Structure 1
Amino acid sequence: MLSNGGTKTPEFDCIANAGDRKETFRLFIEGDELYSAMLSSIAKAKDCIQLESYIYADDRVGHQFSQALIERARAGVLVRVHIDAAGSLFWFSRKMQNHLREHGVQLRWFHRWSWRQPWRYNHRNHRKLLIVDNRIAYLGGFNIHNENSRSFYGESRWRDTHVSFDGPLVDVASQLFDAFWQGRQHWVPKQENSGSKLLHNHTLMCRYRLRCVFGAAFSKAKQSIFLTTPYLVPDTYTLKQLRLAAERGVDVRLLVPRESDVPIARWAARHIYGSLLAAGVRIYEYLPRVLHAKTVVIDGSWSMVGTANLDYRSLFTNFELNLITRNMNLSCKLNDNFNNDLRFSERIELDSWKERKWTSRGLEYLAILTRRWL
């Protein structure tokens, strides 16, 4: 067990507020637990299953989902699966595709490669969403693959975060899925003012909506910003808001992975450590395994969990979907998870960071030049 720098992180009371009445949230940080819940919901489906995933692998986890989806399709349930072509390029297989389609599953690829429209391949559906019968929805960072399963991948499984919810938000999620399925990628549904909303990042009203929300949330923070991201490669504006928050006394803590599934993204992230550390931002690197979670807790009462990383691709290029909420129970649990992850993380100190090798600095500089593509 490692020290988190010797400074105690504030604790917040898990007391429900008025905005908690309409939805019930459940947080998942273990893949086996999440997959079991998702498969159980799929097995109970009577009318409709809507599933989209950035990665859907032809492995043991993927086979479990395929079998469950086929069983429901055979029973007359409408099953729609939307998979990103780039994200699943080396994970999915033609055999699995044909097997699903032959047994009644409607499978659609998002932005398959086209010589006529090559640049659309770079705009990816990074969303991970499951809706069953407009009754329950699952959203977060978990893809469908062995890497998130302790049973199949062992103790080195990836660390990720997902949330399930019921209530009016499920209908909003279903509408967003249908709009995306139909190619209406910028459509915005009406949402009740319940204290919780689903946020996608490209709309007709705001081209870079997610960037605006991040910036506004950071600028309004009064006590704390606890942010977990696997890829810390944001734009200049977002970086500035984090620095300004720290400079005005907000406790800003960033949790990033020491081991990354995209090493060049880690090098790029380390290139920007200096300005953040100098402003008073505390940066921690998670040590045990790959960290893939995307969460934010601000002042213990406002939180975000979903599919978006704090990088150029999520802020400007990919299609993402996040839950933002003032639900105190969910914020408290996310805060507790952040605290627990810090126990297994190493704090990066400015002095030691400045003393890193010149070879590392060179790699970091080269990596940051590619930040728009990471």
Structure 2
Amino acid sequence: MEKQMDRCNSCITLPDDAKEEFIVFVEGDELYASMLSAISKAQHSIQLETYIFAYDQIGKAFVSALAERARNGVQVRVLLDAVGSSRWSSQQLIKALRQSGVELHWFHTWSWQHPLRYNCRDHRKLLVVDSKVAFLGGFNIHKENSKNLYGDSRWRDTHIRFTGVKANEASQLFDLFWSGHLREVVSQPATGSQLLHNHTLACRHRLRCEYASVFEQAKRTVYITTPYFVPDSYTINEIIKTSNRGVDVKLLVPRKSDVRVALWASRSLYAPMLASGIEIYEFLPRILHAKTVVIDKTWTIIGTANLDYRSFFINYELSMVSANRHLSETLEEQFFHDISEAEMVPSGIWFRRDLRSRLAGVVASCLKRWL
């Protein structure tokens, strides 16, 4: 069952067995409590990397926990994206972290010498404690994910906790990215879950390769959850071909989004997918930000990557591809819970939508490479 992708030699193999233990989080308050608990127990090192770190009630709790460990001699390194976090961050956050001994780096701040790199962002969300416990997924650090603070409008997201060898490998990946060693790779066994990153210069298209491979190998079901569905034509064709082979393909996307143009661009892709029999659902209650794919109740991809140009070709991402049966079953169960709160897009009505909606989709699709 283990198959090597034929697109490029640097892509990883799909795992055929996975014995790791995962904990799945779909509520921010539970995730943040677990992360803060892990931080409070750190003895040697804390590595935190995130796209958004807001200096709100949630962010302040993390600052306090990180600062306390740093003052007690733990090496604490925090890597924040300069675009994702600068909007919410303040000098108070920077001061509180650095005065306590936390090493704080900003990823790709603006530079007149290298303006184009500003478009490339660090979209990864990773916490590793003592190289033994790790958290990975779609959750940023902000109150929008907290039911206690944001109520029923909180964002719907997914994160995982894992330990052992995979946590150590995640720590090594953080170290390589922190130090800028983009040509080096972390050795991973061919079996078991594997961390899927795209920070090596050898293969920046690795994510697209991996998604295409699992779509090709699917035999029964493919269930996709993504907040921004604006992939390239090759990926779209792979998904459609999968459906045409008789595989049950379902796609869950948000009805409302924090990036409205991306929503319009996504809807411009519905027609050929609906025509091929793919079921598309729009999540109704709140903003959907989870990024998961479940294949044949056997394989799972979960992490920070969206199915869009930015994740596939521009941003730095980190996901887990796993053949862990319990993880796959848990995420498939969550998928069906989510579509119970979603509305299926009817193909007949969609093909008769008004001219204004069609034009919005055309205009947005022209911008899909930059969304």
CA distance in 1, matches of 2:183, 2:81: 17
Deviation of 1:360 (Å): 1.3
CA distance in 1, matches of 2:286, 2:72: 40
- Counterpart among 295, 300, 313 of residue 303 in structure 1: 300
Query: Which runs of structure 2 are paired with 1:182-221 in the superposition (5 Å)?
Result: 182-221=179-218
Give, as a single letter, the amino acid of the residue that structure 1 aligns with 2:17: G
Give, as a single letter, the amino acid of the residue that structure 1 aligns with 2:238: Q
Paired residue for 1:19? 17
Deviation of 1:371 (Å): 0.2
Which segments of 5 or more consecutive residues in structure 2 lack a partner in the other structure?
A: 1-14
Give, as a single letter, the amino acid of the residue that structure 2 aligns with 1:19: D
Q: Check the 8 A contact 1:19/1:327 in 2, yes or no.
A: yes
Paired residue for 1:84? 81
Paired residue for 2:4? none
Q: Check the 8 A contact 2:16/2:323 in 1, yes or no.
A: no
Which segments of 5 or more consecutive residues in structure 1 lack a partner in the other structure?
A: 1-16
Deviation of 1:186 (Å): 4.3
CA distance in 2, matches of 1:285, 1:208: 28
Q: Check the 8 A contact 1:161/1:294 in 2, yes or no.
A: yes
Give, as a single letter, the amino acid of the residue that structure 1 aligns with 2:304: T
Deviation of 1:18 (Å): 8.9
- Counterpart among 275, 291, 294 of residue 291 in structure 2: 294
Q: Check the 8 A contact 1:229/1:256 in 2, yes or no.
A: yes
Alpha-carbon displacement from aligned partner over 1:252-293 (angstroms, at most 9, x marks no partner): 000000010111100000001001101111100000000000
Paired residue for 1:369? 366
CA distance in 1, matches of 2:251, 2:212: 15
Deviation of 1:207 (Å): 2.6
Deviation of 1:88 (Å): 1.2
- SS of aligned partner of 1:373: coil
CA distance in 1, matches of 2:291, 2:162: 17
- SS of aligned partner of 2:369: helix
CA distance in 2, matches of 1:141, 1:244: 28
- Counterpart among 96, 103, 107 of residue 106 in structure 1: 103
Query: Which runs of structure 2 are paired with 1:267-286 in the superposition (5 Å)?
Result: 267-286=264-283
Query: Which runs of structure 2 are paired with 1:347-362 in the superposition (5 Å)?
Result: 347-362=344-359
**Higher mean C-alpha displacement, 323-332 vs 178-187:** 178-187
CA distance in 2, matches of 1:61, 1:31: 10
Q: Check the 8 A contact 2:67/2:100 in 1, yes or no.
A: yes
Q: Check the 8 A contact 2:222/2:248 in 1, yes or no.
A: yes
TM-score computed with the length of structure 1 as normaliser: 0.94
CA distance in 2, matches of 1:83, 1:100: 12
Query: Which runs of structure 2 are paired with 1:1-374 in the superposition (5 Å)?
Result: 19-21=17-19, 23-374=20-371
Q: Check the 8 A contact 1:51/1:80 in 2, yes or no.
A: yes
Deviation of 1:203 (Å): 2.5
Give, as a single letter, the amino acid of the residue that structure 1 aligns with 2:259: V
Q: Check the 8 A contact 1:32/1:148 in 2, yes or no.
A: yes
RMSD of Structure 2 on Structure 1 (CA): 1.2
- SS of aligned partner of 2:85: coil
CA distance in 2, matches of 1:166, 1:314: 26
TM-score computed with the length of structure 2 as normaliser: 0.94
CA distance in 1, matches of 2:202, 2:103: 31
CA distance in 1, matches of 2:117, 2:191: 35
Deviation of 1:188 (Å): 1.5
- SS of aligned partner of 1:205: coil
Deviation of 1:31 (Å): 0.2
CA distance in 2, matches of 1:226, 1:177: 29
